[in-house]
Amino acid sequence: MARLSPLASVSETRAVLEAHGLTTKYSLGQNFLVNDAILQKIVALAEVESSDAVLEVGPGIGTLTIALLQHAARVVSVERDADLPAVLAETCAPWSDRFALIEKDALHLAADDLADLDGFLPNKLVANLPYAVAATVVLDYFERFPSLESATVMVQKEVADRMAAVPGTKSYGAYTVKLRLYAEPAGRFAVGPGNFFPPPRVESAVLRLNRRTLHDGSGAPLDATTLKAAATMADAAFANRRKTLSNSCKTYFAGRGVEGARVAAVLPQLFEQAGVDPRLRGEALALEDFVRMGRALQALAGV
199-229: pLDDT as tens digits? 988 999 999 999 999 998 888 999 999 999 9
Residue 210 burial (10 A CB sphere; 0-12, 13-18, 19+) = middle
Query: How crowded is residue 194: how many other Cβ atoms within 10 Å of its Cβ?
Result: 10
pLDDT at 27: 61
Contacts of 269 (CB under 8 A, 6+ apart): 296, 300
CA dihedral 162, 165, 170, 171 (to 10 degrees): 0
Instruction: Go through 60-87 and write b for each residue having 16 or more CB atoms within 10 A of its CB, e for each that does not.
Output: bbbbbbbbbbbbbebbbbbbbbeebeeb
Instruction: Go through 7-31 and write b for each residue having 16 or more CB atoms within 10 A of its CB, e for each that does not.
Output: bbbeebbeebbeeeebebeeebbbb
Among 163, 166, 179, 177, CA closest to 288: 177
Is the CB of residue 77 less than 8 Å from the CB of residue 89?
A: no
pLDDT at 115: 79
> 16-71: per-residue pLDDT in tens?
999 999 877 766 667 899 999 999 999 999 999 999 999 999 999 999 999 999 99
Is the CB of residue 46 less than 8 Å from the CB of residue 187?
A: no
> 61-86: per-residue pLDDT in tens?
999 999 999 999 999 999 999 999 99
Q: Phi and psi for 269 in degrees, rounded to 5?
A: -65, -35
Among 211, 65, 206, CA closest to 145: 211
pLDDT at 2: 75
* Average pLDDT over the chain, rounded to an integer: 94
What domains are defined for the chain? 10-211 (3.40.50.150), 224-301 (1.10.8.100)
pLDDT at 23: 78
Query: How crowded is residue 272: how many other Cβ atoms within 10 Å of its Cβ?
Result: 12
Measure the CA–CA gap between 185 and 172, rounded to whole angstroms: 13
> What is the number of H-type helices and E-type strands within the chain?
13, 9
Measure the CA–CA gap between 132 and 156, rounded to whole angstroms: 9
Helix (H, G, I), strand (E, B) or coil at 128: strand
Instruction: Go through 33-57 and write b for each residue having 16 or more CB atoms within 10 A of its CB, e for each that does not.
Output: bbbbebbbebbebbebeeebbbbbb
CA dihedral 215, 112, 101, 34 (to 10 degrees): -30
Confidence of residue 270 (pLDDT cuts 50, 70, 90): very high
pTM equals 0.94
Q: Which residues pair with 57 in a beta bridge?
A: 78
